[in-house]
Amino acid sequence: MDHYFTVVEGEKSPHEITFYGLSTCGWCRKAKNFLDEHMLSYRYVYVDLLEGDDLKQVMDAVVQVNPRKSFPTLVVDGDKVLVGFNQERYEESLL
């Protein structure tokens, strides 16, 4: 499933971050800007730009960590899930 993701090589890599978002979502844009402003490495996919089997596979992965299927959804180090954008929570969990 890795081929769906775009990798951003930031200067800092304290965590393995997987970002699921929507290209039209303002909260997703805020979350992505936070990652970029703090020069964090992460990989991301805009779910709304996928189709067919690709969309199904990625949504299956999202549902496993976020049954509500809301965005943005970040998976940190494979086990911590951040849903939505909350700057304080992002700072505590990612920096």
Query: What value does the mean pLDDT of the chain take?
Result: 96
Please provide the CATH number assigned to the domain covering 2-94.
3.40.30.10
What are the distances in angstroms from CA 73 to CA 2, 11, 90, 94? 16, 22, 12, 14
Residue 17: Cβ within 10 Å count: 22
Q: What's the longest Cα–Cα distance across the chain?
A: 36
90's tokens: 């992002």
Q: Using one digit for the tens of pLDDT, what is the confidence trace for 68-93?
A: 999 999 999 999 999 999 999 999 99
Give the predicted TM-score (pTM) of the model.
0.95
Q: Using one digit for the tens of pLDDT, what is the confidence trace for 31-68?
A: 999 999 999 999 999 999 999 999 999 999 999 999 99
Task: Give the residue-averaged pLDDT of 24-28.
Answer: 98
Domain boundaries, the chain: 2-94
Q: Which helix (H) or strand (E) holds 32?
A: helix 26-37
